[in-house]
Every structure is written in structure tokens, then in C-alpha cells.
A and B are shown apart, each in its own frame.
Chain A
Amino acid sequence: MKKIAVIMFPGNNCENETARAIIDAGMKAKVVRWNETTGLSDYDGYVLPGGWSYEDRIRAGVISAKDPVMEVIKREVDSGKVVLGICNGCQILVESGIIPGLKDKIQMALAPNINPFINGYYCTWIRIKNSCKRTTAFNITMDEDETIPIPIAHGEGRFATKDNDLMGQLISNDQLLFRYCDDMGNIADKFPVNPNGSLINIAGICNKKGNVAAMMPHPERATWMHQVPGMHIKGEEFGPGMKIFKSIKEYLK
């Protein structure tokens, strides 16, 4: 059975349900503290979970991106292992330059939300679309343009960049993994469809190779139907977020 390490930095708070989602998808999972790097290379993949690592000091994800454990993660990324960053984990992957990973430097940032309803932290259910035309480690189980409901919970989730050419490259490399959309699947660039003002509705980006992804929504909070608003009657059936973990499992097979 494939083994995934859920890396817990000080201040993370989603490590347990993330590990549970991985286990329920049919893999092994262990929560590994930031200072437990021995044997870390033995895992088949890594998930950086949500939370407030290092208290979001300076900016979300900045300190963790410089934590020694990220040196190990970078090596494993290069060797082709799977890495998924969720919410704060997404911020860390972007702050470390692993995502989008086209140059050996930081190319993007997760800027404070632009949201006409609530300033700062915003928690709600939204819809995202599988916008990658190819298969990556994260969308094997999804049809092209398939949409799923999923929750977000963040104050700094707006993908932004100063690099004018970057968007074009991300599109031509097919790196825009998930984008916010309405119930009909339209990528409407307005609130509440786009909950944080993210550039062209980006909710998640993968690297060129397709083995690393950074996403702001929380798939681990949507892995059972009871978690999905209005769907609790279906109880412990798998929820939409499970597709992403099942995809990782398929990819590692």
C-alpha cells in the first residue's frame, strides 16, 4: 500500500482529517511533525495540510517555505513523487517556488481576498471545475470540465502575479488545475462565484509535470457526503473531495 506523509508545521490544524481522507482513499497516511525529517524520503507522496503554519508570520506560508523540511520535499518533487498542498499548504508551495515551478524563484503569491461581503477570513462552499485538459496526479478520477462542490476557508487565497507572461505560460502548459465556477460550470469572474478575486478564477495550479498541485479549497472536508450541504442523507458515501485523493492513489499505482 502506498504511503503518504502529512507534513505538520507548527500551527497547522487540518492534519488529522487530511490523514483520514488519505486512509479512506485506500492509502497509508502518517502525520509527520516538521522536526521529524528522518526517513521522510521513504514515503510515496506528501500532503501539506491547511492551517496557520508559523502563525502566518510575515505572510502565509513564507516561514514554512524556508523550513528545512522543504528541502526534502523539493528533492522528492524533482524525483517525481506526488505533492499536494491544501490551503496553507498551497501557500507554502507557492512561497517556495515549487508552484508554478517554471523558474527557480517565486513567481506568484496568495494575496488577501477581495470579497465585497466579508473582509479577511471567509468560509463557505463554492464550486470548482477540473480545468486541466490532461491527466495529472490529481484529476484522473474526474472528467474534463467536471465540477464539484467544495469548501474554502481562508483570508489570503487570491492567486496573483506581477509576471505578465506567466498566465499565458500556465494556460499553454495546461497547469490551471481547478477554477472557480458557477452551478452551470461557467467561469464567471465575479463574487460569489469567484470568492476571493483570484486571477482568472484560479483555485488550484499544478506543475508542468503534473505531480505537484497547490489548491486553496479543502478536498479533505468534502470526502464524505455528510459533509456536503444538503447531501447528508447519503451519509458515509464518498463525497466529491475524495476524487482528488483517489486520483493520487490511481497515479501511484
Chain B
Amino acid sequence: MGGVDVKTIPIISMSDKDISAFIKKNSLALKVDECRKITELIGRDPTLTELHMFNIEWSEHCSYKSSREVLKMLPTSGPTVIQGPKEDAGIIKFAKVDGEQYGIVIAHESHNHPSQVVPYEGAATGVGGIVRDVLCMGARVIATADPLRFGDVSGKKKNYVKYVANAVVDGIAGYGNPLGVPNIAGDVYFNSSFDDNCLVNVVSLGLIKEKEIIHSAAPSDAEGYDIIVVGKATDNSGFGGAAFASLVLDEEEEEYNKGAVQVPDPFLKNILFRATEEVFRVAREKGIKLGFKDMGAGGIMCASSELCESGGFGADIDVDKIHISMKDLPPYVIACGETQERFTWISPPSFTPTILKIYNKDFELPMVAEGAQAKIIGQVTKSTDYILRCDGEIVCNVDVNVLTKGILYDREKKENKRGFKEPSLKEPSDYSKIGLRILNHPNIASKAKIYKHYDTEVQGLAVIRPGEADAGIQAPIPGCKAGYALSVDHNPKYSRIDPYMGAVNGVAEAMRNVAAVGAIPYGMTDCLNFGNPEVAEAFNDFVLSVEGLRDAATKICWKGDGKSAVPFVSGNVSFYNESVTGKQVDPSPVIACMGYMDDYRKAITMKLKEEGSSLFLAGDRKDELGGSVYYEVNGEIGANVPKVDFSKEKNMIYGVIDCIDKGLLLSCHDISDGGFFACVSEMILGGEADGVIGASVNLDSSLRADKLLFSESSGFVFEANEKNINKIKSIFNEYGLEIINIGKTTKNKSLIINNNDKKIVDLSIDELKEAWTNGLVEALE
């Protein structure tokens, strides 16, 4: 490594104890061993700036040091993939229009710790970060989706939980709405494992032509190219954010942690987006190759070093040229801080004036936000050294490959002894009553209170919006009938009981949801929210979960060829999600599944459409109520989570997709949380709870009726015209499955369920509506 001009930290000669004290004093998350490793790698003592840089590059958040090896088992390539998980976002194949291949860009991230500490800003910057990841691929950002996990709204910490939940929803709305990116899907679960550590995951999607992808790398001939930083003036906000994400939340350090949360500015981002789209347009028109990357974790340092490293170059950056809004910031704060609303460009000097003009003059960034602008801060160099200068002195001089390579840990695993047992519950005397309690549970109840706070209509792409069906659908190319569906899923309680099967269920449900509207699952992302990877049991849960994702993705395969996996094209790992007492949150591999349909006009929703049509059940009801809402309202958790039979699951999903494609179904809903009962109730109500068609169902089961109605074993209920019964049955028969005709839709505005000729449920639509529409509203009050 080359030399530096400023004083170095004498790590080599310091004792472990002194290093430890030094680390603490400087709020570094590095371990003593890691500091020693830095000196080996760079062959000398590091400067404070260099230590801070490694501190971020080697954080779990940036380096995936615990997870990287485990993640290798996931399928990430295949016929539906344009780009797998290597840059800021993955890209899944979409329609071909006039010979032009389009892709859907998808990225998925967590913003858990910031949202727990400062919920509005934390959630808002979560949206702000993920949309940057999608934009920087050169895409138009067309949607977001929000899987949320909050604590128990009636538990010991209910007041703070409610505050967090409401402020998170406000934060998501407060950022996504002004930016003009519609919400397409989401889910929310409440349970006490999230009391001290909520999960705020965000998925973002974009549309791009394959040939117009902009890579997060300096172009091949980039020597001497300008490095341009554009956006908000750098301050100290969000300094250490990546490292913060990689630590357990500590109440005593709350004030310090608040400083690690970034400050959102959707207004500036809105204009940055529009200006950046103009840069894309002009560069494409002139055939200019550029490198572009968003600035998230590790700020300018991570963005510029990774851009240059991927192109095989180094960088020479003058920290004094970076536009700042605070005085006397140390160089490592300027270089590594996570001030929001910024991007890095790598541009040939001949094109630089165009970029500066678009941002600074045409879109008047300096007028829009104080100090905001586009500015040259350095050059790409042939040498692979990453040099930072401050006051004319070199404060960092490290080979860019060493800096960005990260480190790996082989974490210890140990089986987590769980010991869950099945309860023995007395059979309920009144099924209508218990059914209403289930519909009223915040995990089941209508989520309109949340999604009507989000703009679902901006950009005019919506076909099916949140609440209407199991997945949202957009028609992203004006004038083209191709649509894509999106669903986000994972039930945390299943994973508390069985991390492997919980993960499998997450994937299966996401695919079922996409199939239920008629789309073929094409690709997925995962946001893996777990506890402390240094705890062997927690790490074991993580590994088991990834195994579950792998098995489900490869065995419930892509319908296009019936053998390729439905791949994971991008994802994120968030460790250190724990309660203040050190208990991990429920293992939460949250899945987003994107599905494709060549004609969105064929899509169907869950709401019953016609009186007198036939209702069908696919998927056997089994004694699998572990983690179910039914057990929860009885104060139990149980042990038997739904077991997914991969082959049956695949065939059931394919059968539903084929039936919808042939126009044979009127409505369809998957069976999951709340079981058969909740499924049929929601079909009667519809997303807006304005349904007027009832249902009369006759079941004939040897299962006890509570298990029959409330088991969350996978399945579908669908509505079809009587004349299509044989066609539907024969499609399912070809897949080796029987479906059962369970009853009729009725003019009578009620839900009637008979089992073995005995009436067990008789509820009016108004009663269903009352319970279902008020559950979440009351929970959040």
C-alpha cells in the first residue's frame, strides 16, 4: 500500500486492551482481531479514516460476513433472470415489446433498527434507500411494497408498539407519496417477539429495457473519468448507519443511535429522480457509457470504491471538494456518512458539463435544497489505490480491492431446542363467535387503514391494488397488456416453531398469492431478518431458513419449463434483531414474489362475483394449526405448522394458473392465515368490504370442525360458473389433484357453513364486515 501524510494509529504496537479501549472511544464496531487483520492487509498502521472505512466495509450490513457462504445455496440464475444478485438490485425478465426485452428491477431491504428508534424517519429513509437502488440500474421506479412486523398491540409494551406502527406507516406514506411511487402490496403481523425490534422491510420495483441497464461499475475505458457526487450537501446524519444496523439495539445508547438515522427529504429526491431520468435520456441519445451508483451504507466511500473496483480501477478523491452543510467534519464522516438523497456518477470529462447542467441549472438543485448540487470530487485512476485527500494531505491510501473485498466468518451453529407442544383445546361451542374473533384479529383484519394512507394510483399503472386480491398487479408498459403481480409474505410464528418449514411456507404462500390472481411466479427476493449471528442457535435458525427457501424455490419450480427454480434475484440480510433481554425476534425470511402474466385482463380478484356459482376447495385440510391465529386467540401456539408437500403445492399452483388463464374462474383466494373460514369470509367481503353475495358451504370432514375451519394448511378456494366444472376438474386431474365442490354463492347475504350436515356457522355479511373492518383500526388506536 502507498503511504499517507497524516498520523497513523499504532495498532501494531498496541495491546489488545488498548485497542479495545480505542475502538470503544471512537465508536467503532470493529473487533480487536479485525483491527490487527487490517494492519496485515495494508502492511502498516492505518489512519483513523482508514479504520472507519474498514469499520463500514466490514460491517455485517456491507460485507455479509456471516451470511455470504450460506446464501450461496440459493438459486439465483435461470431462464427468467436478466441479472442476479450482484449489484444494487436484481432484474427479472418481463415482456418483449416490438423486439425490445423489458425487465422488472427488484430490490428488497430492511430498515429495522432506525424504525424502532425513530420510526417516521427510519421508515421514510427505508423507502428512500430502496428506490435509489432501483433507479441506479437505469430504471423507472414504478412500485414499492411494505412487509411490516410490529410488537403485540395488547401486550406490555402496547403503547410504544402502537406509536411505532402508526409512525412507520406515516413515514412510508410521507416519503413514497410525494416521490410519486405507488404502493402495490404489503403485509403486517403483530406479535410480542417484535416488541423491542420492529421489522420494516421495503421492496421496490422498476421497469427497464434490457439494453439500457446502467451498471454499478466504472465503464471499461474509465481512466481519467470524473467522479461526480450529486444531491444533498453532506452532513453528519447517518454516520455509522451500516455499523448501527449490525449491532444489537441498546437502550442506553438510544441518543447516539438516533444520530445514526438518516434524514429523509422526499422533495429533493423527487427532483433528483426527474433530473436523473433526464441524464439517462441524454446519455442514451448520445451513446455515452456511464457508471452510476446510489449512496447508501458507507456513503461516498462505499459508492466510489465499489464503482472503481468493479471496473478494475482506483480513485483519487479530494474530500475538500465534496459539498458539505456542516463545518469541521472529520474526513471520515464526510467520506462515510450516510446523508440521504445522493448518487455517484462516473462520467467521461466531455459529458460532465452536461450532467452538471441538468442537475444544477435545468432542475435548479441548489434552489430546491440548500447546498444541493452536482459536483466533481475526484477522478478514476489506472492505479487501483483508493486515495482520499483532505487539506492537501493523503488521509487514506488503500488498494481498492483490499478495501472492498470484505471478510468472511464461519459462524458456529447449534440446534435451537424449541420444545413446542400441541395444546388440547375443548371444542368451541359457538363457531360463529370464534370465527368473528379471528376476523377481528389484527393479523387477519382488513389492512385498509394502512394502505389507504399510501398512494396506490400515481403513475396510472394499477390494475389490481392492495386489498383487492392476494397480489397486486400493474401494467407497467402503456399500451401493452403484459402485467406483473407482486406479493410479500412470511408468517413469523411458523418460523418461531420451525424455521425450515416457516421459510418454506413463506415461499409457498408468496407463490400461491401470485398464482391466485393468475400470474406465473417468475422470481423472488428475500429479506432475511434474524437475531445475533454470533449466537450459535440464532445462526442455526438462519441456516435452516435459507435451506427452506432453497428447497421451496427449487421444488415448486418455474411453470415456464417445469424444472428451473423460481430464482432469488436480490435480497438483504438483517442480523442483530433482538429484544432488550437478548431474545431474537421470530426468524423472519420475508419473501417478495413477482409473477408474470401476458394479459392482465385475465387477472381475477378474491371477491365473489355472481350469485349461484359454484365454490371449490383445493388443498386438504389437516391438523396443522401450529402458529395459527386460532391457537393465538386461545392463548396457545402449538407445534404442528403447515407442512408443504412440494409436489402437491406445485401442482395446485399450476392448476390454478391454468384455470385462470383459460378464463374458468370468477374469483380465487389462497388459504393461509385464519384458515378456510377467513378465506371464504374475505371472498364474501372483498377488499373494500362492500360484497353483497353470500356463500353456503357444505363440508364433509372427519377433522374436528375447529381444525377444519381454522387450520392454515395450504390451499385455495375459488368460484366458478357451473358450466365450467368439468373443465376445471380435468385440469386439476391432469396434475393428479382432486378438487372438491363445497357449495354455492348465494343471494342471501350471509356465510353458512355445514359440516357433516350440521350447521356450524351462520353469520350475516354485516357481522363479518363489522369484525373484519374494525380489527386493525382498533388495534392501532
Q: In the complex, A153 Cα to B458 Cα: how many Å?
A: 9
Assembly CA distance A220 to B458 (angstroms): 9
CB distance from B208 to the nearest CB of A (A): 16
Q: Of B271, B368, B601, which contacts A226 at CB under 8 A?
A: B601
Q: Which of A50, A55, A227 contacts B267 (CB 8 A)?
A: A55
Contact partners of A50 in chain B: CB under 8 A: 458
Residue from B457, B475, B777 in contact with A218 in the complex, judged by beta carbons closer than 8 Å: B457
Query: In the complex, which of the residues B267, B479, B777 contacts A236, with contact meaning CB atoms closer than 8 Å?
Result: B479
**Docked-complex contact B600 and A33, CB < 8 angstroms:** no
Across the interface, do B180 and A235 meet the contact criterion of CB distance under 8 Å?
A: no
Chain B contacts of A157 at CB under 8 A?
none
Residues of chain B contacted by A51 (CB below 8 angstroms): 178, 180, 270
16 A-B pairs with C-beta separation under 8 A: A8-B274, A10-B368, A11-B271, A13-B179, A13-B270, A17-B459, A20-B460, A21-B460, A52-B266, A55-B178, A117-B777, A118-B453, A120-B173, A153-B458, A226-B475, A227-B462
B452: which of A35, A55, A118, A229 is its contact (CB, 8 Å)?
A118
B458 contacts A13, C-beta separation under 8 Å: yes
Size of chain A's interface in residues, with CB distance under 8 A?
38
Q: Is the Cβ of B173 less than 8 Å from the Cβ of A14?
A: no
A117 near B449 with CB under 8 A, answer yes
Contact status A10-B475, CB under 8 Å: no
Chain A interface residues toward B at CB < 8 A: 8, 10-11, 13-14, 16-17, 20-21, 33, 35, 50-52, 55, 117-118, 120-124, 151, 153, 218, 220-221, 223-224, 226-227, 229-230, 232-236
Q: A17-B460, A118-B453, A123-B455 given as contacts; is B267 within 8 A of A11 (CB)? A: yes
Docked complex Cα distance between A234 and B600 (Å): 10
3 A-B pairs closest in CB distance? A13-B180, A17-B460, A55-B267
Distance A218 CA – B367 CA, assembled complex (angstroms)? 29
Q: Out of A17, A120, A234, A236, which one reaches B453, CB within 8 Å?
A: A120
Inter-chain contact A33/B455, CB cutoff 8 Å: no
Q: Choose among A118, A121, A234 the residue that contacts B449 (Cβ–Cβ < 8 A).
A: A118
Residue of A nearest to B367 (CB): A10
Stretch of B93-101, B410-418, B463-471, B747-755 on the interface side: B463-471
Query: Please, which residues of chain B bring their CB within 8 A of the CB of A8?
Result: 274
Given contacts A52-B178, A232-B473, 7 further A-B contacts (CB under 8 A): A33-B362, A117-B449, A120-B170, A121-B177, A121-B455, A122-B453, A235-B601
- Which chain A residues border B688 with CB–CB below 8 Å? 229
Determine if B600 and A52 form an interchain contact, defined as CB atoms under 8 angstroms apart. no
B686 to chain A, nearest CB (A): 9
Q: Is there an interface contact between A221 and B452, defined as CB atoms closer than 8 Å?
A: no
Give B residues with C-beta under 8 Å from A.
170, 173, 177-180, 266-267, 270-271, 274, 362-364, 367-368, 448-449, 452-460, 462-465, 468, 473, 475, 478-479, 481, 600-601, 603, 605, 688, 777
Bound-state Cα–Cα, A229 to B453, Å: 18
Q: How far is the CB of A15 from chain B (nearest CB, A)?
A: 8
Closest A residue, CB atoms, query B178: A52
Chain A residues with CB under 8 Å of B173's CB are 120-121
A230 close to B605 (CB less than 8 A): yes
Q: How far is the CA of A11 from the CA of B452 in the complex (A)?
A: 21
- Within the complex, the shortest CB–CB distance from B575 to chain A, in Å, comes to 34
Asked if B460 and A13 make an inter-chain contact with CB atoms under 8 angstroms apart, the answer reads: no
CA distance A50 to B267 in the complex (A): 14
Cβ of B464 and Cβ of A232 under 8 Å apart?
yes
> CA A21 – CA B459 in complex, angstroms?
11
Q: Quick one: closest A residue to B177, CB to CB?
A: A121
Set B178, B449, B456: member contacting A11, Cβ < 8 A: B178
A11 touches B270 (CB 8 A): yes
Best-buried of B170, B368, B452 by chain A (most CB within 10 Å): B452
Distance between Cα atoms of A10 and B479 in the complex (Å): 28
CB distance from A39 to the nearest CB of B (A): 16
Give the distance in Å from the alpha carbon of A13 to the alpha carbon of B140 in the complex: 13
Residues of the A chain whose Cβ atoms lie less than 8 Å from the Cβ of B368: 10
Given A13-B270, A13-B458, A123–B180 Cβ distance below 8 Å? Answer: no
Which of chain A's residues have a CB closer than 8 A to the CB of B468? 229
> How far is it, in angstroms, between the C-alpha of A124 and the C-alpha of B449 when the chains are bound?
11
Task: Judge whether A123 and B178 touch: CB under 8 Å.
Answer: no
Complex alpha-carbon distance, A121 and B459, angstroms: 17
Closest B residue to A236 by beta carbon equals B479
Closest CB in chain B relative to A16 CB, distance in Å: 7
Residues of A within 8 A of B458 (CB): 13-14, 17, 50, 153, 221
